[in-house]
Structure formats: structure tokens, C-alpha cells
């Protein structure tokens, strides 16, 4: 029997962990912590997130067409429907056709023994999932059958999500590896925010992403429904909100009910966000009297922080909110309701004498005090409707009642401050998937990292985290490619034990889960071919498409907010077509990952650079093909852009060659600081001159140039300090 544990969680105080106390005693956890941590067994499993505990055994459960299942314990039709969805996925993957009843249903076995899949659910979960519900399960897969046991329906759903990922094949057919698994989440709040406001995302986008979330055990869909650029939900009490604030692109209340039901079926909560008092332009298009400066207002079309803000001194604002939030509280069953609260620049408040007078009269001190007053009024409305308030970092204020939840987007310090102040908290800083960082960077962010300084009580207030899909640069065609597969890595961070953190193994498993996500309908892989054809145009030949595909393995969109800055003057941002190179390119481009991995030992340990030289040769060939393709004119008006990118890639290969030659030469005199800075400047110019795409390999080359220039001093540094030193030299902070 093979044996491997990937447990070792030190946390026993979260809500969810309390449920676990029966299955994992503190003693066991300690023992597991001190055991040599081994990924070897779990690493053979193509699943994400990894479970708390797994032992693999010899043998396999062979999948045959004569498949039947049996449910014991609590009756819950959601389980039958989840089994049907899961089996259909397995059929489509495998080509197997499982037995059906005359009505076309999968076959229920006569008893547990006869079933290929036996599910034992102790208690049906509530109709709508709740924070803190027990999501644990165990899986026992033997040659005879799978036994899935869970205390609740939610646990069964999580177990099925694991089971479907375990199905694999070899020459002899389809099977599941024999194993014993015990699993439960680390954090109880594991979310994905989808901004449907900046760019509209219709219901199909939401549904397929709910399917993806269920596969990786995320359990909160946070819908960012209102923004300066759009009011995306039907209000029956104040219809001018959506009628004038949305260009006709909004969810009807019927559609919202459909989304909630679809999510609940998959064990996912839906938390709505109505962002206020700032980010509120779309509210005041229909109701200009609610703003803090006279209207009229129009829907905002650009990205950034804007002045329109609700007027907290105006009782009409609360009248509207009483009605609107009451309406929303009735529509959304989750007890949590998000009121935004971020990025209020305060300009309209400062410029308004009546508002400043109100602040003085009420002793509110300043705009911050007025914001706290507004939140207090909101909280009263929410409490009347039985809801708990969630808001972004900025709502944290000494006057904020303790039962408000703070979602931290600005930094770990905000998370700590809010939990120390007695609030439950959710981490999003580090999980901003719109910023196009590689999955490994998100993966490294833990809401409760080892060695954190929070007390046990403060740690218990850290509910979990949320990936945030802000929608400045995503439309329905591209949004999946920004969410997936990277969000699966965040899902693992939030579900799996803290000790599961091997990046190479994460990437290996991410490739599997990416295919599973594709199979269930996510478009992160398949969107690219049609878009590439459109980009290349009607005259493009196969060879043109082939070299553009090659380019896309090397190229990524720019990171952070650089695309916003680069496109500020390009016209109304909301209408810019999302069909260009930065949309075709995606995060974590495969060859950039490979290059970074090959460069790592060359930079930090003076390893052999032969793989890097091979990459430069490859780049030269791709660059030459891009030039040919551009010169042919077949790409029409895109030819210029493609020629320029080809030129940059050729130059990148030249610079790379120079840096590697320097790394291999023994002369440190000619490769000192001046040489390094000149290399960095050339890389910035050549690899960063296309304003919205970049070659990330340039970053490795900058680090290598820094290493070469500092090599005589390497002995002065411990390995971690050496790394830090090189990074500081390679990526100097630019003054603003
Ligand atoms: C935010 O990103 N302004 C919450």
C-alpha cells in the first residue's frame, strides 16, 4: 500500500474547522505536521484542489458501461441530479455509454453492494447553501466500487467534483485509482467575484462559470452588479436605475432567481454587490438628485475613479435605498449583502457646502466620518431586512459596527487591521486575476500564512478569500480565459491545507483541471481559434495562423493597470473591441513559463544556459516567420503590428544572447552596473514598446543581467538575500 499524507493544518479555529474537530483531532494534526511532508503520492493524482488526506492503494476501479449508483441516508434530489451531471461528463470524456432506464435515467442499483458508486449522505443541506456548512466528505475507491460518504449534501457535491477528476485512462480503458481520501476545506468562504458592470456578462457566462467553480469547490459567487459604467439589475421599485443606467444590458429579477437556483444546485452561494456611495454614476443617470453635485449624468465609458457619489445628507437617498435594498434583500436569499464602499474620492462632498455643513453639525469630523455615517444608515436598512453588511477595505472605521464584514483588496495589512478590530474578513488582495499575474503568484498568497501574527481569535475571523474578475478588459468571449485555469490555483489555496504549495506540481495539475474545465463548457481554451481567424483576416493562410499561434505561446498582455494607462486616450474604453493581441494573448503563456523555469538555475546558481540559447534560436525563427507573414500583406492592416512584434522578438533574442554570453564570460569588469542598466533599458524599450502586450521572458533576462553584474559580490549574500538583491536591481522602482 502506498501512503501519503498532505495534511498538517495548524488551524483549528475557523467555523468550518470546528465541524471537522470530530474527524481530525489536534493530536493527529500535530503528528501530521511533524511527519516528513511528501507530495509523491498525491502528486500522481490529476486533481485540484488537493484533498486534506489521501492514501492510494494498488488496484483500480474499472469503469464499465454497466454502471449503477445507489444513495443511502438522507434523500436529496440534488444528489441525483449531480450524479447525472457527473456521469454525463464522464461519458462525454470517455465515450462510454452507461446503462439507462427506459426513461433515459442512469441506473439506480438495487442495493449498495451492487452499485459502482455508493453515496451515503447523512443529512440534506438547506435549500440555499450557508456559510460554515460542513462540506467534508470521504472517498473509498476499491476494485469493486466507490463509496462516497458525507455528513451533508454539500459534502457529496464536493466529493463528486473530486471523483470526476480522478477518472483516467490507459490502453486498457477507463478507471479510477484505488484510494482512501478524507477531505474538508481550509476556509469556508471561497469566492469568485464577477464584475458584470464594466463589461456586461450575460447569464450563459455566469452559468458556465458556476460549473467551473463547482468543479474546483469554490462556494461563493460575488456578483458586482453596479458600477459607474452600468447598473445591471432590474429594479421594480426604481426602474430608472436599470432603464437609464444599463444600455438595456441587465439581469431581470427572473434571471437572478435562475442564477441563484443554478448556483444552489451546485452548492454555491450568491452574494450581490451594489457599490456605493462612490462608483455610482450609473445610479444617478436616472436619479440625478441623489448625487452630491447637480446633474445631468451619463453612463461613464472610461475606467478609473470618478467623482459622482451619492449624497449621504439627502433623505431621498435613504428612501430609494430602503426600497431598493429591501427589494434586493428579498431577491437574494444569502444573509450577506455587499455595499461596496471603495474608492470614494470625496471630491463632490468636499465641494458641496451643504454637505460640509452637515459634517460639522453632526460632528462627523471629515468625509471619512460622513462615509461611516452613510454605512451606519445602510446597516440599519440591511438589519431591518435581516442582512449582514459586507464592504471593501475603506469601510473600516472606528464607528463601523463589528458585525460588518470587511473584504480586503488593498493589502494584507488591511485584513489584519480589520480582524484585529473585531470584523470577519475576506481576502482579495493578491487574488486580482484581472491583473494578469501568473497563477504561481496568486497561489503563493495565503489569507493566513504560516507565521502570521494574528491571535487564534483573530485568525478565526479570517473567513477565506475571493478571486476578483474585474471587467475592464474582458467581454463574454474572453472572460473565461482570464478566470481559468488560474482561479483553480486560488481555489486550491482556499480549500487545501496550507502545506500544499509546490508550484511545479500545482502547474502540472492545473493543466489537467484546465482540460476538465474545457470539457464542461468553459471557453478559456476554445475562444482563441475563432478570434485568431478574425484577427488574421480573410486572406490569412494556415502558415500565418500557425506563426501567430506560436507567438501567443511567448506573449502575454501587460500586467497590472498598464493597459488602462496605455488606452486612456484611445476613446471610450467600454466600446474598445476586445479582439486584439492582448485579448488573444493570455496569462501564463506556456513558453514563458518554460523559459522562466529554465532561466531560474542560470540566474541564481550559475547553471547551464543551453536551454536559453535554444529558446533564442526559436525566437529568431518565429520572428523571421512573423516578418514574412507581415511582408506578405495577407494580414491586411494588422501587418504593421505583426511586423513590429516580430522585430521586438528578434531584438529580444539578440539581447538574450548578449546576456547569456556575458554570463559565460569570466570578465566582470565589462559587465558591471553600467552594462546591466543599459541591458535593462534595452529590454524595456524592445520588449515593452507594444503598449498592451509584453514578452515576459524579458524579466528573466533582466534578472540574469543583474546576476552577471553582481557576481563578484554573490559570496556576501545568503541565497534568499541574493534573490532579493537581484530583484531590486532588475526591477528598480520607477519614480512616478
Ligand atoms: C476595488 O478594487 N476597488 C475593490
Radius of gyration, CA atoms only, the chain: 27
Q: Who contacts 735 (Cβ-Cβ below 8 Å, separation ≥6)?
A: none
707 CA distance to ligand 1 centroid (A)?
37
Atom of ligand 1 nearest to the CA of 407: 4
How far apart are alpha carbons 710 and 671 in whole angstroms?
9
210 CA distance to ligand 1 centroid (A)?
22
In DSSP notation, 338-370 reads E--------HHHHH-HHHHHHHHHTT--SHHHH
Least-confidence region, from 144-158, 500-514, 556-570: 556-570
What would the mean pLDDT of 327-348 be, rounded to a whole number? Answer: 97
Is the minimum distance from the CB of 409 to ligand 1 under 6 angstroms? yes
Evaluate whether 375 touches 389 at the Cβ level (below 8 Å). yes
209 CA distance to ligand 1 centroid (A)?
21
High-pLDDT (> 70) share of the chain, %: 93
Evaluate whether 487 touches 194 at the Cβ level (below 8 Å). no
pLDDT class of 688 with cuts at 50, 70, 90: low
**Nearest alpha-carbon partner for 156 in 224, 79, 232, 233:** 79
355 CA distance to ligand 1 centroid (A)?
25
Pocket test of ligand 1: the residue of 343, 406, 411, 433 to mutate, having most ligand atoms within 8 Å of its CB, is 343
Cis peptide before 312 (omega within 30 of 0): no
Q: Above 70 in pLDDT, residue 564?
A: yes
Cell 459604467 belongs to 229
What would the mean pLDDT of 510-535 be, rounded to a whole number? Answer: 98
342 CA distance to ligand 1 centroid (A)?
6
339 CA distance to ligand 1 centroid (A)?
12
Per DSSP (E only), the strands in 274-394 are 336-338, 388-392
Is the minimum distance from the CB of 392 to ligand 1 under 6 angstroms? yes
Cell of 278: 462612490
Q: What is the pLDDT of residue 668?
A: 62
Q: Give the mean pLDDT of the chain.
A: 92
What would the mean pLDDT of 458-479 be, rounded to a whole number? Answer: 98
Is the minimum distance from the CB of 345 to ligand 1 under 6 angstroms? no
Q: Above 50 in pLDDT, residue 21?
A: no
Question: Catalytic residue at 492?
Answer: no
Q: Above 50 in pLDDT, residue 314?
A: yes
Pocket test of ligand 1: the residue of 229, 392, 561 to mutate, having most ligand atoms within 8 Å of its CB, is 392
**Nearest alpha-carbon partner for 164 in 76, 87, 59:** 87
Is the minimum distance from the CB of 342 to ligand 1 under 6 angstroms? yes
**Nearest alpha-carbon partner for 192 in 500, 584, 475, 484:** 484
- Set 343, 441, 477, 641: catalytic member: 343
Is the minimum distance from the CB of 628 to ligand 1 under 6 angstroms? no
Helices and strands (H and E) in the chain: how many: 28, 21
Pocket test of ligand 1: the residue of 409, 411, 435, 469 to mutate, having most ligand atoms within 8 Å of its CB, is 409
Evaluate whether 29 touches 9 at the Cβ level (below 8 Å). yes
- The DSSP bridge partners found for residue 191 are 220, 466
Q: Whose CA is nearest to atom 3 of ligand 1?
A: 342
Evaluate whether 213 touches 490 at the Cβ level (below 8 Å). no
CB atoms within 10 A of CB 436: 23
Atom of ligand 1 nearest to the CA of 279: 3
Evaluate whether 40 touches 4 at the Cβ level (below 8 Å). yes
How far apart are alpha carbons 547 and 499 in whole angstroms?
41
pLDDT class of 12 with cuts at 50, 70, 90: very low
Q: Whose CA is nearest to atom 2 of ligand 1?
A: 409
Atom of ligand 1 nearest to the CA of 342: 3
* Alpha carbon 711 to its chain's center: 38
pLDDT class of 22 with cuts at 50, 70, 90: very low
Query: Quick one: 713 exposed, middle or buried, by C-beta within 10 A (0-12, 13-18, 19+)?
Result: exposed
How far apart are alpha carbons 126 and 293 in whole angstroms?
46
Evaluate whether 120 touches 153 at the Cβ level (below 8 Å). no
What does DSSP assign to residue 132?
T
Least-confidence region, from 71-80, 223-232, 516-525, 683-692: 683-692
Is the minimum distance from the CB of 303 to ligand 1 under 6 angstroms? no
Is the minimum distance from the CB of 343 to ligand 1 under 6 angstroms? yes
Q: What is the pLDDT of residue 670?
A: 85
274 CA distance to ligand 1 centroid (A)?
13
How far apart are alpha carbons 510 and 165 in whole angstroms?
12
Element (H, E) at 506: helix 503-519
SS3 (DSSP) at 58: strand
How far apart are alpha carbons 392 and 339 in whole angstroms?
8
Instruction: Encode pLDDT of 169-182 as tens digits.
Output: 999 999 999 999 99
How far apart are alpha carbons 625 and 641 in whole angstroms?
14
| Residue 228 phi, psi (nearest 5) | -55, -35
How far apart are alpha carbons 616 and 621 in whole angstroms?
9
Atom of ligand 1 nearest to the CA of 470: 2
Phi/psi zone of residue 59: left (φ > 0), alpha (ψ -120 to 50 degrees), beta?
Answer: left
Atom of ligand 1 nearest to the CA of 340: 4
635 CA distance to ligand 1 centroid (A)?
39
Task: Provide the angle, in degrees to the nearest 10, between the axes of the packed helices 253-265 and 77-94.
Answer: 80
**Nearest alpha-carbon partner for 219 in 313, 296, 135:** 135
**Nearest alpha-carbon partner for 432 in 460, 462, 411, 418:** 411
How far apart are alpha carbons 264 and 529 in whole angstroms?
33
Q: What is the pLDDT of residue 733?
A: 83
Evaluate whether 269 touches 263 at the Cβ level (below 8 Å). yes
What does DSSP assign to residue 251?
B
CA-to-CA dists, residue 682 to 470, 533, 646, 663, 685, angstroms: 32, 33, 16, 17, 5
Pocket test of ligand 1: the residue of 395, 470, 560, 561 to mutate, having most ligand atoms within 8 Å of its CB, is 470
Cell of 619: 525566437
Amino acid at each position: 500500500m502506498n501512503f501519503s499524507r498532505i495534511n498538517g493544518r495548524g488551524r483549528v479555529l475557523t467555523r468550518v474547522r470546528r465541524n471537522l474537530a470530530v474527524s481530525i483531532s489536534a493530536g493527529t494534526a500535530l503528528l501530521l505536521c511533524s511527519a516528513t511532508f511528501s507530495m509523491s503520492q498525491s502528486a500522481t493524482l490529476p486533481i485540484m484542489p488537493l484533498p486534506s488526506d489521501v492514501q492510494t492503494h494498488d488496484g483500480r476501479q474499472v469503469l464499465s458501461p454497466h454502471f449503477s449508483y445507489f444513495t443511502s441516508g438522507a434523500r436529496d434530489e440534488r444528489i441525483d441530479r449531480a450524479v447525472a451531471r457527473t456521469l454525463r461528463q464522464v461519458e462525454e470524456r470517455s465515450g462510454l455509454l452507461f446503462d439507462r432506464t427506459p426513461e433515459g435515467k442512469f441506473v439506480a442499483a438495487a442495493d449498495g453492494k451492487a452499485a459502482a458508486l455508493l453515496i451515503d449522505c447523512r443529512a440534506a443541506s438547506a435549500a440555499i447553501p450557508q456559510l460554515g456548512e460542513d462540506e467534508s466528505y470521504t472517498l473509498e475507491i476499491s476494485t469493486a466500487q466507490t463509496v462516497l460518504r458525507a455528513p451533508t449534501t454539500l459534502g457529496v457535491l464536493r466529493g463528486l467534483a473530486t471523483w470526476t477528476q480522478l477518472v483516467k485512462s490507459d490502453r486498457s480503458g477507463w478507471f479510477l485509482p484505488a484510494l482512501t481520501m478524507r477531505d474538508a476545506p481550509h476556509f469556508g468562504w471561497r469566492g469568485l467575484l464577477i464584475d458584470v458592470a464594466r463589461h456586461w456578462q450575460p447569464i450563459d457566462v455566469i452559468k458556465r462559470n458556476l460549473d467551473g467553480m463547482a468543479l474546483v469547490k469554490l462556494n461563493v459567487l460575488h456578483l458586482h452588479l453596479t458600477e459607474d459604467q452600468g447598473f445591471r439589475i432590474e429594479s421594480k421599485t426604481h426602474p430608472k436605475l436599470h432603464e437609464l443606467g444599463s444600455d438595456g444590458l441587465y439581469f431581470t429579477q427572473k434571471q437572478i432567481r435562475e442564477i441563484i437556483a443554478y448556483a444552489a444546485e451546485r452548492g454555491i452561494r450568491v452574494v450581490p454587490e451594489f457599490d456605493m456611495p462612490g462608483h455610482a454614476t450609473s445610479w444617478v443617470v436616472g436619479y440625478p438628485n441623489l448625487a452630491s453635485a447637480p446633474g445631468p449624468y451619463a453612463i461613464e465609458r472610461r475606467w478609473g475613479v470618478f467623482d459622482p457619489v451619492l449624497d449621504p445628507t439627502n433623505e431621498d437617498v435613504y428612501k430609494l435605498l430602503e426600497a431598493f435594498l429591501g427589494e434586493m434583500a428579498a431577491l437574494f436569499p444569502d444573509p450577506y449583502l455587499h455595499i461596496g464602499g471603495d474608492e470614494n474620492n470625496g471630491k463632490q462632498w468636499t465641494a458641496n457646502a451643504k454637505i460640509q455643513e452637515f459634517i460639522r453639525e453632526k460632528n462627523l469630523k471629515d468625509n471619512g466620518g460622513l462615509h461611516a455615517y452613510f454605512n451606519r444608515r445602510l446597516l440599519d436598512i440591511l438589519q431591518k431586512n435581516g442582512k449582514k453588511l459586507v464592504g471593501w477595505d475603506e469601510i473600516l472605521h472606528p464607528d463601523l459596527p463589528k458585525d460588518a464584514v470587511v473584504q480586503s483588496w488593498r493589502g494584507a495589512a488591511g485584513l489584519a487591521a480589520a480582524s484585529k478590530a473585531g470584523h470577519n474578513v475576506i481576502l482579495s488582495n493578491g487574488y486580482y486575476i484581472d491583473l494578469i499575474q501568473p497563477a504561481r503568484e496568486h497561489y503563493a498568497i495565503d489569507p493566513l500564512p504560516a507565521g502570521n501574527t494574528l491571535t487564534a481569535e483573530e485568525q478565526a475571523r479570517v473567513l477565506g478569500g475571493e478571486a476578483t474578475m474585474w471587467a475592464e478588459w474582458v467581454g463574454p468571449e474572453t472572460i473565461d480565459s482570464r478566470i481559468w485555469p488560474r482561479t483553480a490555483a486560488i481555489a486550491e489555496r482556499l480549500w487545501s491545507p496550507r502545506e500544499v504549495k509546490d508550484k511545479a506540481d500545482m502547474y502540472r495539475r492545473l493543466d489537467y483541471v484546465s482540460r476538465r474545465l474545457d470539457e464542461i463548457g468553459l471557453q478559456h481554451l476554445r475562444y482563441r481559434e475563432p478570434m485568431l481567424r478574425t484577427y488574421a483576416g480573410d486572406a490569412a493562410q494556415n502558415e500565418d495562423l500557425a506563426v501567430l499561434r506560436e507567438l501567443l505561446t511567448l506573449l502575454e498582455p501587460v500586467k497590472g493597470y498598464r493597459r488602462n494607462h496605455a488606452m486612456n486616450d484611445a476613446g471610450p474604453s467600454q466600446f474598445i473591441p476586445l479582439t486584439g493581441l492582448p485579448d488573444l494573448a493570455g496569462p501564463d503563456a506556456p513558453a514563458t513559463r518554460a523559459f522562466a523555469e529554465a532561466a531560474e538555475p542560470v540566474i541564481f546558481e550559475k547553471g547551464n544556459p543551453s536551454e536559453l540559447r535554444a529558446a533564442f534560436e526559436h525566437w529568431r525563427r518565429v520572428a523571421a516567420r512573423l516578418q514574412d507573414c507581415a511582408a506578405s500583406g495577407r494580414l491586411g492592416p494588422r501587418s504593421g503590428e505583426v511586423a513590429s512584434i516580430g522585430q521586438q522578438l528578434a531584438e529580444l533574442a539578440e539581447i538574450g544572447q548578449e546576456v547569456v554570453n556575458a554570463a559565460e564570460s569570466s570578465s566582470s569588469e565589462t559587465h558591471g552596473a553600467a552594462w546591466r542598466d543599459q541591458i535593462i533599458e534595452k529590454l524595456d524599450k524592445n520588449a515593452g514598446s507594444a503598449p498592451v502586450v509584453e514578452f515576459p521572458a524579458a524579466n528573466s533576462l533582466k534578472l540574469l543581467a543583474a546576476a552577471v553584474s553582481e557576481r563578484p559580490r554573490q559570496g556576501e549574500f545568503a541565497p534568499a538575500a541574493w534573490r532579493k538583491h537581484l530583484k531590486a536591481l532588475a526591477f528598480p522602482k520607477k519614480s512616478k
